[in-house]
Amino acid sequence: MDKLKLSEYFSEIYDDGTVPSFKVLIDGKWVKTKQKMDLISPVDGSKIAEIGSVDEELINKAVSSADSNKSKIRGMAAIDRIELMNTARVELEKHKEEIVNMLVRESGKSFRSASGEFNAMIERLRLSMEDSRKIIGEYLPGDWSSDTSQKIALVIREPLGTVLGISPFNYPVYTSVAKVLPALLSGNSVILKPPSADPIAFLMCAEVLRKSGVPSGTLQVLTGSGGSSGDMLTQSDKVNMISFTGSTDVGKHISSIAGLKKIHLELGGKGAALVMADADLDLAARECVKGSLELAGQRCDAISRVIAVEKIYSSFVDKLKEHMADYNFGNPLENEKVTVGPVISSKAAQRIDKMVKDAINKGAKLIAGGNYKDAYYEPTLLVDVPLDAEIANEETFGPVVTVIKAKDMDDAIRIANNSKYGLDSAVFTDDFYSAWEIMKALQVGNVTLNSAPSHGTAYFPFGGVKDSGAGKEGVGYSIEEMTSLKTIILDLSPKNLGKKYSGSFKD
CB 241 within 8 A of CB 470: no
Which of 184, 190, 135 is CA-nearest to residue 167? Answer: 190
Average pLDDT over residues 387-411: 98
Share of the chain above pLDDT 70, in %: 99
266 is known as an active-site residue: yes
Q: What is the mean pLDDT of residues 267-289?
A: 98
Burial 115-137 (b: 16+ CB within 10 A, else e): bbbbbbbbbbbebbeebbebbee
How far apart are the C-alpha atoms of 32 and 17, rounded to whole Å? 14
Architecture of domain 271-449: 3-Layer(aba) Sandwich (3.40)
pLDDT at position 365 is: 98
Per-residue pLDDT, averaged over 361-368, amounts to 98
CA distance 13 to 308: 50
* pLDDT of 226 above 80: no
* pLDDT higher than 80, residue 76: yes
> Which class is domain 8-267+472-485?
alpha beta
Asked if residue 356 lies in contact with residue 382, where contact means CB atoms within 8 angstroms, the answer is yes
For residue 357, pLDDT over 80 is answered with yes
Residue 237 scores a pLDDT above 90 = yes
- Residue of 300, 473, 480, 481 with catalytic role: 300
Q: CB neighbours of 496 closer than 8 A, spacing ≥ 6? A: none
Q: So where are the chain's domains? A: 8-267+472-485, 271-449
Residue 265 has pLDDT above 70, yes or no: yes
Distance CA 479, CA 178 (A): 10
> What's the confidence (pLDDT) of residue 507?
59
| Mean of pLDDT values over 419-430 | 97
What integer is the mean pLDDT of 487-500? 92
300 catalytic per annotation: yes
pLDDT tens digits, residue range 115-174?
999 999 999 999 988 888 778 889 999 999 999 999 999 999 999 999 999 999 999 999
What are 159-216's pLDDT values in tens digits? 999 999 999 999 999 999 999 999 999 999 999 999 999 999 999 999 999 999 999 9
171 in Cβ contact with 180 (< 8 Å): no
* Average pLDDT of the segment spanning 223-232: 84
pLDDT at 506: 64
How sure is the predictor about 339, in pLDDT bands with cuts at 50, 70 and 90? Answer: very high
Distance, in Å, from the CA atom of 66 to the CA atom of 340, rounded to the nearest integer, reads 39
Q: Assign 228 a pLDDT band (cuts: 50, 70, 90).
A: confident
Q: What is the mean pLDDT of residues 346-354?
A: 98
Q: How confident is the model at residue 412 (pLDDT cuts 50, 70, 90)?
A: very high
Report the chain's mean pLDDT, rounded to a whole number: 95
448-463 per-residue burial string, b: 16 or more CB within 10 A, e: under 16 = beebbbebebbeebbb
Residues of the chain with pLDDT > 90: what percent? 91
Measure Cα distances from 281 to 73, 133, 309 in Å: 52, 41, 12
* Residue 388 pLDDT level (bands cut at 50, 70, 90): very high
Of 50, 117, 266, 481, catalytic: 266
